[in-house]
Amino acid sequence: RSARCFTVFRRLGTFPSDRRSSRKLRTSSFKLMSKVAPLAVESKKLKGAKWKQFRYSEIESATGCFNPENLIGKGGYADVYKGCLPSGELVAVKRLTRGGKEEQGTSFLTELGVLGHVSHPNATPLLGFCVDGGLFLVFHFLPHGSLAAMLHGSRLMEWPARFKAAIGTARGLHYLHSNCRRRIIHRDIKSSNILLGPDFEPQITDFGLAKWLPSEWTHHTVPVEGTFGYLAPEYFLHGIVDEKTDVFAFGVLLLELVTGLRPIDSTQKSLVMKVRPLLESANIQQLVDGRLKGAYNLSEVQKTILAARLCIRQSAIARPCM
């Protein structure tokens, strides 16, 4: 380990500075592994997939000591770094950074527990994890990055790729809500949590806020977390979470794909409020991203707009299922 890396981690408080803290770290890692192990076994039984347990030195080496140049994403609780394994395989390393240790541990175990039950082309599969020197999740690296980066970047995202993102995300959500062994509510569906594969096939990622919803329950009531602009009214006001929470966020995502606009503008006005009058008047020309210059399939755009209108209804009961 280089002197530079040692100094950085000492300053961040993530490297054990003495024997006592080292013992605490080992004890903490052991306790966490006792909870992770059953999740890994269950995942292997359900999906036949085996997670790799990485050493901290492997994670550190892959990311170049968490070189800022390799930082490719920042979320509510984590930073994501691009890395390269000795085999040459590119990976995305999610490093939990914010919140207390207990909060980080809860988020980490939640995401592992959910990923252990998820196996679908439109949901990001887990490659491995690390609990040594911090909490890390390792995924396959997807070359096109997030939908947000593609949609709001300097290069124009053509309509066929946008429509493909909409269809794939819908399939992924339908799977989470209806075809999983347990009902899963993602709670943070947004364009930055949709990754794009080599052929622009979307994958839902970041299950840190996800909730199980037992079959006999109609909803959860939880503290409000997530991203403004995508929050359903009943969730934002009362903390009520069910499948319709994700449906509302998906509706906002559809509007984002059609208009090319962000869910919240510089004046903090939501995209839903901004375009609602246009939706009611069915003014397609004013709704569609002007950068497309008419290069889109009218039928697909009409279907997308109709789906968005249904998904962002104020009443959760009036929204469709995925």
Are residues 224 and 117 located together in one domain of the fold?
A: no
Are residues 188 and 242 located together in one domain of the fold?
A: yes
316 within some domain: no
Least confident of 28-37, 139-148, 167-176, 283-292: 28-37
168 within some domain: yes
In this structure, the chain runs to a length of: 322
Distance of CA 278 to the CA centre of its chain: 29
Matching residue, tokens 């359903």: 232
Are residues 298 and 214 located together in one domain of the fold?
A: yes
Are residues 120 and 155 located together in one domain of the fold?
A: no
Q: What is the pLDDT of residue 213?
A: 74
Are residues 156 and 30 located together in one domain of the fold?
A: no
Q: Which domain holds residue 23?
A: 3-140
320 within some domain: no
Q: What is the pLDDT of residue 13?
A: 40
Q: Which residue has the higher pLDDT, 124 or 208?
A: 124
Q: Are 117 and 179 in contact (CB under 8 A)?
A: no
Q: Which residues pair with 52 in a beta bridge?
A: 128
Strand residue runs (E) in the chain: 52-53, 71-74, 78-84, 90-96, 126-130, 136-140, 183-185, 194-196, 202-204, 211-213, 220-221, 240-241
188 is catalytic: yes
The last residue of a domain, from among 113, 140, 167 = 140
82 within some domain: yes
- Average pLDDT over the chain reads 85
Q: What is the pLDDT of residue 163?
A: 98
317 within some domain: no
Q: Which residue has the higher pLDDT, 255 or 1?
A: 255
Are residues 8 and 136 located together in one domain of the fold?
A: yes
Q: What is the pLDDT of residue 171?
A: 98
Are residues 169 and 253 located together in one domain of the fold?
A: yes
Are residues 66 and 191 located together in one domain of the fold?
A: no
Q: What is the dihedral of CA 188, 266, 143, 200, to 10 degrees?
A: 70
The last residue of a domain, from among 114, 140, 166 = 140
Report the distance separating Cα 171 and Cα 304, nearest Å. 14
SS3 31: helix
The last residue of a domain, from among 125, 140, 155 = 140
Q: Residue 173's domain is classified under what CATH number? A: 1.10.510.10
Q: Residue 122's domain is classified under what CATH number? A: 3.30.200.20
Are residues 136 and 153 located together in one domain of the fold?
A: no
User: Which residues line the annotated binding site for ATP?
Assistant: 94
Kindly state the percentage of the chain with pLDDT values over 70.
81
Q: What is the pLDDT of residue 1?
A: 43
Number of C-beta neighbours around residue 286 at 10 A: 11
**Catalytic one among 18, 79, 188, 199?**
188
Local confidence band at 2 (pLDDT 50, 70, 90 cut-offs): very low
Q: What is the pLDDT of residue 218?
A: 55
> Rounded to whole angstroms, what are the CA distances from 1 to 14, 17, 80, 138?
14, 15, 21, 21
Are residues 151 and 102 located together in one domain of the fold?
A: no
49-93 pLDDT per residue, tens = 678 999 999 999 999 999 999 999 887 678 999 999 999 999 999
51 within some domain: yes
287 within some domain: yes
Q: Give the chain's domain count.
A: 2
Are residues 159 and 276 located together in one domain of the fold?
A: yes
Are residues 155 and 295 located together in one domain of the fold?
A: yes
